[in-house]
Structure 1
């Protein structure tokens, strides 16, 4: 990557990865450690393999990942894998360049790191969404054990928020919400409290969903709740609501116990 004056600022993931793997053992070891921390699980570790060529029209040696089903060139990996690997590389590259700069300037390495990341869950499987933010904290702390870390992350994933419940410190951490009010975006600080699971986060003020279900199921349950409060509702309407619930909800849905007494009172066979 070059700046406007033609100066090379960064060699890029592919070139640096292969160079580190072949010539710069310390940097490559650090990259391997970071990728291991960022891996989705022990069954699918982000473990580098030997570089390879991917075509006759590409003279580059391409990094690979040793997956359980074989070597996968990084350029042909899934979007989620490429994104996490790129993030891991950028963290290692930035830290390595910082250490080199401090030597040139005769300064001590920083003890503060600020990381800004947008849509932290993008392209990731739900299993990986539960791990990514805690893993990023471990990665940054692995660069320097005594470092003070501030991560500013944007997310639309309830699993990301649920994953932070064991780590969230109300004295140091904060959750902010961005809401469109009229034609302006309003920023407000949310009261943090553990909610236990992703469904509870979805139905909180953070995501503003009435139900963690399909739109059709939400409408049916909304009508059913109104029917519970209206004993004068015509039987035909109660039957229609019951049929909608029967079509949209599983037999084990926790809403059924609340509804069945109303259905029986209307003479409907559950």
Structure 2
């Protein structure tokens, strides 16, 4: 779990400093200012790997660029700092450390650093349908042979599981070995196995997570698997909805995102527990989730449900589970949905802004805004109004006229009648601006 992240000479800002909350961290702001970039660097800080190519220093700052920060001991072991190595075009190994310190002999007869056993799984959910999982409990670690510790250093860099959207559904293989069977096969297999009544079975975890992430008025519950195609002999899961039963492959884009997220959480945690049992390690009591725009594809009713539901689903994975979430969002409804759940002692809100040609990041004190319009017109999003650009322009002209600032009126809105015609064209009858304007017109005898 990350406590802080500091970037210098890398990314859109010359310097960026984030002191992170232990539970929820919300990153918002305009497009192109580095929110997703921060999630990518956070993934590297936690895992020592990149989901694609490494990020690059700013031109001319290759020698001074650095990524540093602090992680909770047991997640990725304390403070870290990495510089860019130009010849290798790589950042210095994130996990290059003294492997002879704190070695623990496990029941399986393997000597490993004690912090490795406590490492938390990390999930990364992207808007492009890609998913990533890093879980050292599922990696092959060095055996108890001196050859693995010839001097003092051994870089631990477990390979992450990187899924494209199709692989989440149909499985992921590596060196001809199945690392993940995929949503379709696992769901059906789990469902048949769970008929025996084992409450700890992954299928029951999947059902609980799906129940939490589904909207309360449109619950998705598993139905009976069905055969669908002539050229595909698999049976496909179905979901029961208020209006009927549908195969999951025919679900809407928003529902598929919820299905994928539910499966990824259930699969990754079940596999973590299974791997821990196989190597005689204790399962982690922590998990880190990085997620881009959880509102993607979701109707506003689902947008104001998803983040509280995600926090609940993660905390329910184990009795003492501690989850840290870093998310980006452009949705005022997502922020409004957090008002009953945001805990300033454990959660943080960051706003990425453009100040001239400089990108800055501010931590904003949490304040309730009341509704989506309140969030749209808050410093988080910075809009003057929650209306169309044309309606905002007409109202600003009307307000300037009421203040007597007639010299600043734009073309086409320079007289009271021009402004009134535009307001009538653009504003609904119940708009809250009408009483002010009508009173002004009546006083002027119009």
Q: TM (normalized to structure 2)?
A: 0.57
Q: CA shift at 1:142, angstroms?
A: 1.4
Equivalent residues of 2:400, 2:406 under 8 A apart: no
Equivalent residue, structure 1, for 2:182 = 12
2:207 to 32, 48, 53: 32
Equivalent residue, structure 1, for 2:323 = 149
Equivalent residues of 1:221, 1:245 under 8 A apart: yes
* Secondary structure of 2:289 counterpart: strand
Equivalent residue, structure 1, for 2:437 = 259
Q: CA shift at 1:112, angstroms?
A: 1.1
From the superposition, tell whether residues 236 and 137 of structure 1 become closer, same or farther in structure 2 (CA, over 3 Å). Answer: closer
From the superposition, tell whether residues 109 and 232 of structure 1 become closer, same or farther in structure 2 (CA, over 3 Å). Answer: closer
Count of residues in Structure 1 that have an aligned counterpart in Structure 2:
267
Query: Which protein has the bigger helix share?
Result: 1
Distance in 2, Cα, partners of 1:7 & 1:192: 48
Equivalent residues of 2:173, 2:180 under 8 A apart: no
* Secondary structure of 1:87 counterpart: helix
2:332 to 158, 171, 192: 158
2:286 to 112, 120, 129: 112
Aligned pairs (5 A) from 1:161-180: 161-180=335-354
Which structure would you say has the larger RCO, counting Cα contacts within 8 Å and 6 or more residues apart? 2
Equivalent residues of 2:294, 2:307 under 8 A apart: yes
Distance in 1, Cα, partners of 2:211 & 2:293: 21
Distance in 2, Cα, partners of 1:195 & 1:252: 22
Equivalent residue, structure 2, for 1:212 = 386
Distance in 1, Cα, partners of 2:282 & 2:321: 13
From the superposition, tell whether residues 244 and 101 of structure 1 become closer, same or farther in structure 2 (CA, over 3 Å). Answer: same
* Secondary structure of 2:415 counterpart: helix
Equivalent residue, structure 2, for 1:239 = 417
Contiguous gaps of at least 5 residues in structure 1: none
From the superposition, tell whether residues 104 and 236 of structure 1 become closer, same or farther in structure 2 (CA, over 3 Å). Answer: closer
Q: CA shift at 1:232, angstroms?
A: 6.0
1:63 aligned to 2:237? Answer: yes
From the superposition, tell whether residues 208 and 8 of structure 1 become closer, same or farther in structure 2 (CA, over 3 Å). Answer: same
Equivalent residues of 2:220, 2:239 under 8 A apart: yes
Q: TM (normalized to structure 1)?
A: 0.92
Equivalent residues of 1:180, 1:186 under 8 A apart: yes
For residues 14-67 of structure 1, the C-alpha deviation after alignment (integer angstroms, 9 at most, x for no partner) is 1110110112452111111111111112x4211010111222222221110011
1:75 aligned to 2:249? Answer: yes
* Secondary structure of 2:351 counterpart: strand
